[in-house]
Amino acid sequence: MIIRQMRRWVLLLGVLVLLGASYEVKADVTLRIGMDSSDAGQLDPHLTSKTPDMALLQWIFNGLVRFKPGSMDPATMEPDLAEKWTSSSDGRTWTFTLRKGVKFHGSYGELTAEDIVFSLERSKNPKSSAFSSDFSEFKTIEALDPYTVRITLSSPVPFLLGLVSNYHGGMIVSKKAVEKLGENFKMGPIGSGPFQFEEYKSKQFVSLKAHKDYYRGTPKIDRVMYRYIPSASSRELAFRSGEIDLFYGDREQRWVERMRGQKDTIVDIFRPGEHRSLHLNTTMKPLDDVRVRRAIAHAIHRDEIVQFLGKDVAEAAYSIVPNGYLGQTTEGIPQYEYNPEKAKALLKEAGFPNGFSTKVMNTNLDPLLKPMQIIQEQLRKVGIQVELEVMEHATWHAQIRKNLSSMVHYGAARFPVADSYLTQFYHSKSIIGTPTAVTNFSHTRMADQEIDAARSEPNPKKQLELWKAAQQKIMAECTAIPVFELKQVWARKANLDYGHTLTGSLNLGPVISETTRFK
């Protein structure tokens, strides 16, 4: 009896061995990413503009149109959820024909025109969007049938396709999901992109899984683990030990060169450069005096900052509009060259011959903290004593929007047209505390007329002239000082293939798509 039982077990074991040899189970292919953040902000694409969130959300959501993967060139934008579109001769009416059969994640069904209307109305509403001012000219958004959407504008919008692209308020959400999940949607987003939300653990990670019904095809990566690792040294250690495959790098030349020397490592440096400006709080004394603001501008040595950060990762900025944006210019624009003696003379003229002291709040994230520390030392040389109050990133974001800091060193990238930057940072609708504010720490109002006129100007030449006039006024009042631009720096394992050439990503992180794979 015992012998027969043993024979059965031996036979069963042999069958299992044979089955194992013939039917090998394929392990999940997981991409492990390390991000420079202590936690997620909110995973709602219409509410967040923070780099850690933006980099992740672009893998979850689509727009009506999209930037080609690895590019941020508006000239090469291509269809996404819309397969085609037309516009009227006056630029006020746009009609989009949707792809059929596009499925949302989970059980939320097919994407239709109703979801497009809902998403864009949501982006237009200040109560549900951080980008509502971008959509202020959207007069009506209509579903003509389940696969056709018509947008009617009050006046033409510069590069409207940018507003309905896979970026910021242009990302399309599931109406059913938002209505069902309510506040929980912020940390459990539903989109139609190549990867779908799976799990979030506070201050640890967000996990995504492949959207097998993605209309462009099932992704080659089965799962994405997006870990929050605020320490630069910890991210690098995790990469070296094989715990992560891709991570947000240190945007300094020395770090880039050191990592390039590591075996099986690729360092990606790509645009956009986050345009770094020092925004001055004109409601706080003595920064209400333009002479003091100009003194600060003359005390800042851009070349020294760029030299510290490195030629591959940084470049000086002399305009409030980022380098390369349509409408950006320095011709005929007031410039504040490095001149510490002139800075001291202006301070003396303003009644501060011995300088003054001021408190400045700053995030603890190295890419924003280190340059501010250099600026702190440069200002000290002309008698301006800056006391830095360093705090956690999310806390800093909240505090600067309460008008509590005399200066805000801020970096951002927007759709590459002058209007986007001028509107969000330098229009009175963006002044701190206003319902329409996007950045919500601005104190600029002197160029509203030119900014508004440029938005509806059909003549491209006149539009450029209006943008130039706006830049002249803002720079003359010196409410913000352009300092430098810092490119995006990520490092990856050499066997990780994005599936495209990476030269730019408006969402500030590599595009992980259905074509991304491990070689």
**Bridge partners of residue 95, in order along the sequence:** 86, 150
pLDDT over 90 at 21, yes or no? no
Whichever domain contains 354, its CATH number is 3.10.105.10
In whole angstroms, how far apart are CA 282 and each of 134, 285, 299, 352, 410?
Answer: 25, 7, 18, 17, 16
Average pLDDT in the 306-312 region? 92
Burial class (CB in 10 A: 0-12, 13-18, 19+), 195: buried
Cβ pair 117, 164 in contact under 8 A:
no
**Assigned domain for 48 exists:** yes
122 with 255, same domain?
A: yes
**Assigned domain for 164 exists:** yes
**Assigned domain for 7 exists:** no
Domain count, the chain: 2
pLDDT digits (tens, 9 = 90+) for 253-295: 999 999 999 999 999 999 988 899 999 999 999 999 999 999 9
247 with 376, same domain?
A: no
User: Helix, strand or coil for residue 169?
Assistant: helix
Cβ pair 57, 43 in contact under 8 A:
yes
pLDDT over 80 at 158, yes or no? no
Cβ pair 15, 205 in contact under 8 A:
no
pLDDT over 50 at 408, yes or no? yes
What integer pLDDT is reported at residue 17 of this predicted model? 47
**Assigned domain for 36 exists:** yes
CA distance 170 to 161: 9
What integer pLDDT is reported at residue 7 of this predicted model? 54
216 with 348, same domain?
A: no
308 with 443, same domain?
A: yes
CA distance 95 to 392: 44
CA distance 22 to 483: 63
Q: Note if the bond before 219 is cis, omega within 30 degrees.
A: no
500 with 442, same domain?
A: no
CA distance 355 to 297: 14
Model confidence, pTM: 0.79
**In the chain, how many H helices and how many E strands?**
15, 19
295 with 241, same domain?
A: no
353 with 458, same domain?
A: yes
Q: What is the DSSP string of 449-481?
A: HHHHHHHT---HHHHHHHHHHHHHHHHHHTSEE
Binned at pLDDT 50, 70 and 90, residue 25 comes out as low
Q: Can you give the residue range of the structural domain that contains 314? A: 272-487
**Assigned domain for 344 exists:** yes
**Assigned domain for 18 exists:** no
358 with 246, same domain?
A: no
CA distance 98 to 4: 67
Long-range contacts of 286-291 (CB under 8 A, 24+ apart): 286/350, 286/351, 286/352, 286/356, 287/358, 287/406, 287/407, 289/350, 290/477, 290/478, 291/346, 291/347, 291/349, 291/350
**Assigned domain for 417 exists:** yes
326 with 186, same domain?
A: no
Binned at pLDDT 50, 70 and 90, residue 438 comes out as low
**Bridge partners of residue 246, in order along the sequence:** 33, 492
pLDDT over 90 at 76, yes or no? no
**Assigned domain for 16 exists:** no
**In which element (H, E) is residue 175 found?**
helix 175-181
Task: With CA atoms as reference, report the closest residue to 174 among 125, 130, 111.
Answer: 111
In whole angstroms, how far apart are CA 216 and each of 27, 166, 167, 181?
Answer: 23, 15, 19, 27
182 with 292, same domain?
A: no
366 with 412, same domain?
A: yes
pLDDT over 80 at 162, yes or no? yes
Strands 223-228 vs 30-35: parallel, antiparallel or unpaired: parallel
Cβ pair 214, 193 in contact under 8 A:
yes
277 with 253, same domain?
A: no
Whichever domain contains 125, its CATH number is 3.40.190.10
